[in-house]
Structure formats: structure tokens, C-alpha cells
Structure 1
Amino acid sequence: MPGLYFEEFEPGMVIDHPTRRTVTEADNTLFSVMTLNLAPLHLDAEYSKNSIYGQRLVNSLFILGLVSGVTVPETTQGTTLGNLGFEQIKFPKPVFHGDTIHVRTEIVSKRESKSRGDSGIVMFRHLGLNQRDEIVCDALRAGLMLKKPVAAHA
């Protein structure tokens, strides 16, 4: 499914994305090492046994990337000019190896671009949920979205 154009988004719209992903130890280790986040909570099983979680945590920035990425096919693939930024990011519950993440997107608002006639700004709220439907990531993101081509309006 291609992404949606600016006109196709409506505040209150909810998209339950069909792609789900089980997070693995390899995902967590590779991402943490590639980004030089060497926190023992992500990499050291013995250290993590004595933490408040009793086990290693999945790197939260991996989860943010996963949650954002899962949304692309149904929201922005081929119809975005760029990610304008995140206004809020929360991780209310931890993610552990073996958790399966699914994503729900809510359209919070939209407005015409003040500087570009071919696009508008859509505010997305992406919710990453685990297999128990607990929110593990709550991100508010602004995207610069293309309007439908003029030929499509005719």
C-alpha cells in the first residue's frame, strides 16, 4: 500500500499497522554496538540480573526506530518530503528480548505548509505496543507530506 497524501489524512484517523516484529537479542546487541551505546543494561546479562528489571533491556532508540519504520508503508511511503521532528517521545514500559511489537498511528492534526504550496504538515502519534497491548513507545511526530498531484484532482 502506498503512503497517503496530505489530503487523505484526517485528525482522529487511526491506522493499525499490519506488520509486527519480535525483537531479538541480536537486534539489541547490533544496534547498541553500532551506535556505541555500551550501557551494560543492554549488553551485559550478568550486570542486568541485578537491575530492577532482572534482565537486559532492549535499547529504546532501536524501539523508536522500529515503531517509526513500521508506519511507513501505510502512511508516508512515497508521499513524504521529510520527517520534521519528534515533539515528544516516551517509553512507559520496557522492552525485552522476545517481545513482539505492533504499532498504531493516530492522526493528531494537520495544517497547510506556510512556505510550500505542494505540501502540508501532519502530526502523527505513533504507539508501539507489546504482545500484551502495553504501550512501550509513545511518539508524537511531525511529517511534511505531499499534496496530491494537480493531475489527480482533475
Structure 2
Amino acid sequence: MTETDNVLFSTLTMNPQPLHLDAEFSAGTEFGQRLVNSMFTVGLVVGIAVPELTLGTTVANLGFGKIDFPAPVFHGDTLRVETEVVEARASQSRPDAGIVTFEHRSYNQRDELVCRARRAALMHRRPAS
């Protein structure tokens, strides 16, 4: 996570929260430094999983369930992501698709869980043989 990533995302999404942008303000908080915008974190966590998991197979995201940020993310942190398929079923209205629920978990370089997100997606199904 770089300072540039955090500043660009925060300003592009119209989020002027000083915890993300103002080093002097953030130094006086319990964190002692700027936090990476949590919406950027969850977006990156899902994005990291795409090439190995859902590239070319997602029809649409249907929604997010519970999203947790149990530990803060700071500039300079390195994140890794693991994803578990927690549910899968055929779509009742679209025979060529199914609904898959994923749980994405992200850890920093100290192996601290920093983000957990449940996501449901409409996915292409394999053609029937």
C-alpha cells in the first residue's frame, strides 16, 4: 500500500477524511499515522483475487455481506489475500449461471488479519455435457 494509492483513491472518491490524508492530524490519533482508506483496502482485496479466481467468469457482483477491518492498514504494508468459496448454487432464473459466495481474507506482512469480506456473485456455469 503506497501513500499515492491512498491519496488518489481518497480524493477520487471525494473522501476528505484527515485520517487518510493529513499526517499531522493522524499523528495525534491512537494510530499515530495515516490509515489506508478502508474502501480502497476492500476493493484491492477483491481485485487481487480476480486473476486466479474469477477472471472472465463473473457476470455481476450481487452484493457484499459482512465486511470487517480487524486491524488497520498503513502506508508501506504488503497485503496477501486468500479466498474461500463458502456457498455455490445454481441460479433459479438463469440456467447458464450460478450464485457463488466468497469469503476474502487479507493479511499484512505481520500475518495480521486486516480485512474479511463476504461477497456474492453471479457466475457463468460450465455448459451441460
TM-score (norm 2): 0.97
**Residue 83 (structure 2) pairs with residue 85 (structure 1):** no
What are the within-5 Å matches in structure 2 for residues 125-140 of structure 1?
125-140=103-118
Measured against aligned partners, the alpha-carbon deviations of 1:109-133 in whole angstroms (never above 9, x if no partner) come to 1111111100111110000110111
Paired residue for 1:64, among 42, 51, 57?
Answer: 42
What are the within-5 Å matches in structure 2 for residues 3-14 of structure 1?
none
- In structure 1, the partner of 2:10 is 32
Code of the residue aligned with 2:94 in structure 1: it is R
Higher RCO (CA 8 Å, separation ≥ 6 residues): 1
Q: Mind listing any 5+ residue stretches in structure 1 that lack a counterpart?
A: 1-22
- In structure 1, the partner of 2:100 is 122
Q: How many residues align?
A: 129
Distance 2:25 2:41 in 1: 22
Deviating runs (4+, > 4 A) in structure 1?
A: none
For the residue of structure 1 that corresponds to 2:65, the secondary structure is strand
Distance 1:73 1:40 in 2: 33
For the residue of structure 1 that corresponds to 2:9, the secondary structure is helix
% of aligned pairs identical?
A: 60
Query: What's the CA shift for 1:149?
Result: 2.8
Query: What's the CA shift for 1:73?
Result: 1.0
Distance 2:58 2:4 in 1: 31
- In structure 2, the partner of 1:149 is 127
For the residue of structure 1 that corresponds to 2:79, the secondary structure is strand
TM-score (norm 1): 0.82
Distance 2:90 2:62 in 1: 14
For the residue of structure 2 that corresponds to 1:71, the secondary structure is helix
Distance 2:108 2:96 in 1: 37
Measured against aligned partners, the alpha-carbon deviations of 1:82-116 in whole angstroms (never above 9, x if no partner) come to 11110111100000000000100011011111111
For the residue of structure 1 that corresponds to 2:111, the secondary structure is coil
- In structure 2, the partner of 1:102 is 80
